Structure 1
Amino acid sequence: MLSLFKKYPSVTTMELAELAKGNIRLLDVRTPSEYQGGHIVKAQNVPLNTIESYQPTKDQPVYIICQSGMRSKQATRILSKKGVEAINVRGGMSQWHGLTKKGK
């Protein structure tokens, strides 16, 4: 049976906190103002409305976070269709308990 809801890989914010100790690529797909209000230090801001034009190198997975997990799930789907190993961060920034940075 064909599923309409394809499962995409995902991690929890706790798993992301461990992964972030290493060298990971993390995209924050929230708006620039949300991002500047507080984001994970390693996160690069690529708002969801610009994700189609994002050109990552395909040598490492891309972790994607937003506020709640809904926009990051959309971004994960879009990038996966482009052949990128994209991984959604479930719960988003609302579940993140690690350090954040304000501004750009």
Structure 2
Amino acid sequence: MAARRALFRLPLRASSSAALRNGAAASRYASSLASAGAQPKWAATAVLPAQWRLLGKRAGGQTRWYSSELGVAKEYKFDDVKQLSEKPDENVQLIDVREPQEYANGHIPTALNIPVTTQPDALFLSPEEFEDRFGFAKPATDKGVIFYCKAGVRSATMAQLAINAGYKDVGEYKGSYMDWEKNGGKAEKP
């Protein structure tokens, strides 16, 4: 156990040869476990999402991971969202990803509330589980969804989650609720 822990306590600025030696040791350890019929969680590649790619080793033995883009959310402006709130489209759903208390203090008319901070798995739930949890039907993956929050950070997160969950038409109101208020959009309260 101590040897396994030591593999992960490398100094951040170790020489690249030391990183390669320790990387080789980790590989040998994982191989020995695999030949014995076991595989540690940290060595299993299935733990990582399929869209992740490994960048090459960097000096100091640091490994960099990044998520490749499966898709990019369309950007919506104030006028687009205002039109949608005044004339709802059955093929597009506006979704507020702020917390319920923020939503209760005012939201864009016609928007549903799916809080990303406390419910990040929401779009990955089955339709039955989703309806039990939120009290309304889960947006269909073949319909458009437009996300907004307070300033655009949480909506970007939810847009990427939606893309990963299989939604085809994903949009993001980057100005979000702050832009809505600034431009004189009317707020609705439940």
Q: Normalising by the residue count of structure 2, what TM-score does the alignment of the two structures yield?
A: 0.48
Q: Distance in 2 between matches of 1:92 and 1:57?
A: 22
SS state at 1:86 partner: strand
> Which of 128, 141, 145 is equivalent to 1:62?
145
- 1:13 aligns with 78
Deviates more, 1:48-57 or 1:60-69: 48-57
Unmatched 5+ stretches in structure 2: 1-65, 124-137
Q: Could you tell me whether the CA contact under 8 Å between 1:29 and 1:64 is conserved in 2?
A: yes
Q: Provide runs of 4+ in structure 1 moved above 3 Å.
A: 3-7
* Structure with larger RCO (C-alpha < 8 A, sep 6+): 1
1:56-80 C-alpha deviation (Å, 9 max, x unpaired): 2123100111001110010000011
- 2:158 aligns with 75
Deviates more, 1:34-43 or 1:20-29: 20-29
Deviates more, 1:50-59 or 1:70-79: 50-59
Deviates more, 1:10-19 or 1:59-68: 10-19
Q: Could you tell me whether the CA contact under 8 Å between 1:25 and 1:43 is conserved in 2?
A: yes
Q: Determine whether 1:98 maps to 2:185.
A: yes
Q: Highest CA radius of gyration, 1 or 2?
A: 2
Q: Distance in 1 between matches of 2:121 and 2:172?
A: 16
The amino acid of 2:76's aligned partner reads V
Q: Distance in 2 between matches of 1:65 and 1:5?
A: 23
SS state at 1:50 partner: coil
Q: Could you tell me whether the CA contact under 8 Å between 1:13 and 1:90 is conserved in 2?
A: no
> Which of 29, 32, 38 is equivalent to 2:100?
32
Q: Could you tell me whether the CA contact under 8 Å between 2:93 and 2:139 is conserved in 1?
A: no
Q: Normalising by the residue count of structure 1, what TM-score does the alignment of the two structures yield?
A: 0.84
1:29-57 C-alpha deviation (Å, 9 max, x unpaired): 00111100100120111101314223421
Between Structure 1 and Structure 2, how many residues are aligned? 101
Higher helix content, 1 or 2 = 2
Q: Distance in 1 between matches of 2:154 and 2:68?
A: 16
